[in-house]
Chain A
Amino acid sequence: MNHPTPPALAVTGATKRFGAVLALDGVDLAVHHGEVLALLGDNGAGKSTLIGCLSGVHKLDGGAIHMDGEPVEITSPTTARAHGIETVYQDLALFDNLDPAANFYAGREVAGPRWLPRGLRYMRRGAMAGVTAEVLSRLQVGIPDTRASVGLMSGGQRQAIAVARAATFASRVVILDEPTAALGVRESRRVLELIRRLRDEGRAIIVISHAMDHVIEMADRAMIMRRGRKVGEVIPHADNRERIVSLIVGGDG
Chain B
Amino acid sequence: MADTDNVLAARRPPWRFDAPQLALTTIRIGPGLMLVAVVIAAASLSPVFLTPRNIGNVLSQSAVIAVLALAQLLVIITRGIDLSVGSTLALSAVVGALVFSSTPSGPLVVLAMLATGALVGAVNGTVFVWGRLPHPFIVTLATLSIARGLALWLSGGQPLQGMPQIVRDIGGGSLGWFPYSGFLVAGLALLGLLLTTRLVWGRWIYAVGGNPDGARRAAVPVNRVVISVYVLSGLAAGIGAVITSGRLNGGSPTFGELAELDTIAAVVIGGASFLGGRGTIANALVGALMIGVIRNGMNLLNVDAFLQPIVIGAVIVLAVELDVVRGRVEQRLRVMKAAQT
Contacts and interface: CB of A to CB of B under 8 A. Distances in A.
B211 A93 contact: yes
A51 interface: no
Interface string A78-95: 100100000101010111
A243 interface: no
Given A78-B219, A144-B337, A119 B200 contact: yes
B211 A107 contact: no
B200 A95 contact: no
Interface stretch (A120-128, A203-211, A213-221, A231-239): A120-128
Contacts of B300: none
A140 to B, nearest CB: 5
Contacts of B307: none
Nearest to A76: B219
B341 interface: yes
A81 B217 CA distance: 10
Contacts of B334: 151-154
Contact of B199 (A57, A96, A121): A121
A30 to B, nearest CB: 25
Contacts of B198: 122-123, 125
Nearest to B208: A95
B120 interface: no
A215 to B, nearest CB: 21
Interface in A97-132: 97-98, 102, 105-109, 111, 118-123, 125
Interface in A178-217: 186, 189-190, 193
A96 B337 contact: no
A98 B207 CA distance: 8
B12 A144 contact: yes
A157 B201 CA distance: 27
B156 interface: no
A240 B278 CA distance: 51
B207 A95 contact: yes
Contact of A144 (B217, B330, B340): B340
B321 interface: no
Interface string B218-240: 11110011001000000000000
A106 B215 contact: yes
Nearest to A152: B334
Contacts of B337: 144-145, 148, 152-154
B7 interface: yes
Contacts, number: 128
A111 to B, nearest CB: 5
A143 interface: yes
A89 B215 CA distance: 13
B330 A93 contact: no
Given A121-B199, A144-B9, A106 B338 contact: no
A189 B5 CA distance: 13
A142 interface: yes
Contact of A140 (B3, B200, B218): B3
A74 B214 CA distance: 19
A5 B341 CA distance: 41
Q: How large is the interface on B (under 10, 10 to 19, 20 to 34, 35 or more residues)?
A: 35 or more
A246 interface: no
A40 B207 CA distance: 32
A96 B7 contact: no
A190 B224 CA distance: 39
Contacts of A98: 203, 206-207, 210, 277
Given A81-B219, A119-B201, A144-B337, A96 B210 contact: yes
A157 B338 contact: yes
A77 B217 contact: yes
Contacts of A148: 337
Given A107-B215, A119-B201, A193 B9 contact: no
A123 B203 contact: yes
A105 B200 CA distance: 10
Nearest to A96: B210
B210 A123 contact: no
Contacts of B333: 152
Given A78-B219, A81-B219, A189-B2, A140 B7 contact: yes
Interface of A: 55, 57, 76-78, 81, 87, 89, 91, 93-98, 102, 105-109, 111, 118-123, 125, 137, 140-145, 147-148, 151-157, 186, 189-190, 193
Given A93-B211, A109-B203, A142-B6, 19 more contacts: A77-B216, A91-B213, A93-B217, A107-B204, A118-B200, A121-B199, A122-B199, A123-B199, A137-B10, A144-B9, A144-B341, A145-B14, A152-B330, A152-B334, A152-B337, A154-B341, A155-B338, A156-B341, A157-B338
24 contacts: A55-B217, A77-B217, A87-B217, A91-B214, A93-B217, A95-B277, A96-B210, A97-B278, A102-B203, A107-B215, A107-B218, A107-B219, A119-B200, A122-B198, A122-B199, A123-B198, A140-B6, A142-B6, A142-B7, A142-B341, A144-B14, A144-B340, A145-B337, A154-B334
Q: Which 9 pairs, one residue from A and one from B, show the smallest C-beta to C-beta distance?
A: A154-B338, A107-B218, A97-B277, A142-B6, A93-B214, A142-B9, A119-B201, A97-B210, A95-B210
